Amino acid sequence: MTNLQAQWIVGFTDGEGHFGVAINKNEQMTMGCQVQPEFNVTQHYRDIKLLYALKDYFGCGVVRKNKGKNDESKVFCYRVRSRDHLNNIILPFFEKHQLKSTKQQINSRKVKKVLRLMDSGAHLTDEGLDQIRAIRSKLYL
C-alpha cells in the first residue's frame, strides 16, 4: 500500500480533487430529487493504487469506475458521499491541512455550506432546495 503524507494529499487534491453537489431526480424522495454533496478524486486505472491509498488514509469512501458514455473508459474515482464522513473526516482534514488553490478552498466551503443546510433539513423544502441550487451554481468548474 502506498503511504501518503497529509501535504501530498493537499497538493494532489489541489490538482485533481473535486468538491461538488449532485442533484439527481429520484421520485422516491420527498422533494422528487436527491441532494448529494461529494468529494472525489479521479485517476486513470494505471494509478488506481493512489485512489485506494486515499481510501485507506481516510478510512471511508469507495473506489469505483467513473460512469460515462464510454464503457471502455479507464477513469476511476475515489468518492465520499456519506454526509457523516464528509462532516467528520474529509472536511475536518482540509480544515486542519488547508488547501492552497482558490478553486478548491471555495468549493470545499460551498459543500460545507450545503451540508449545514442539509443538517437543518433544508433539502426537504422548496426554499431550501433553491438555496442549495444557488450555492451549487456558483461552484468553480
Give the interface with a second copy as residue ranges (CB under 8 A).
Answer: 2, 4-17, 43-44, 46-47, 50, 53, 100-103, 140
With respect to a second copy, which residue has the nearer C-beta, 15 or 92? 15
Instruction: Identify whether the C-beta of residue 49 lies closer than 8 Å to the C-beta of residue 76.
Output: no
Q: How far is the CB of 115 from a second copy (least distance, A)?
A: 24
Q: How far is the CB of 78 from a second copy (least distance, A)?
A: 12
Q: How far is the CB of 50 from a second copy (least distance, A)?
A: 6
With respect to a second copy, which residue has the nearer C-beta, 6 or 22? 6
In the numeric block, the cell 473535486 is attached to 18
SS3 content of the chain, % helix, strand, coil (to 5): 50, 20, 25
Q: How far is the CB of 74 from a second copy (least distance, A)?
A: 12
Euclidean distance between CA atoms 41 and 28, whole angstroms? 29
With respect to a second copy, which residue has the nearer C-beta, 11 or 128? 11
Helices 6-16 and 48-58: crossing angle in degrees, nearest 10, is: 120
Instruction: Identify whether the C-beta of residue 26 lies closer than 8 Å to the C-beta of residue 110.
Output: no
With respect to a second copy, which residue has the nearer C-beta, 36 or 107? 107
Run of H or E including 135: helix 126-137
Q: How far is the CB of 103 from a second copy (least distance, A)?
A: 6
With respect to a second copy, which residue has the nearer C-beta, 36 or 43? 43
Euclidean distance between CA atoms 17 and 101, whole angstroms? 11
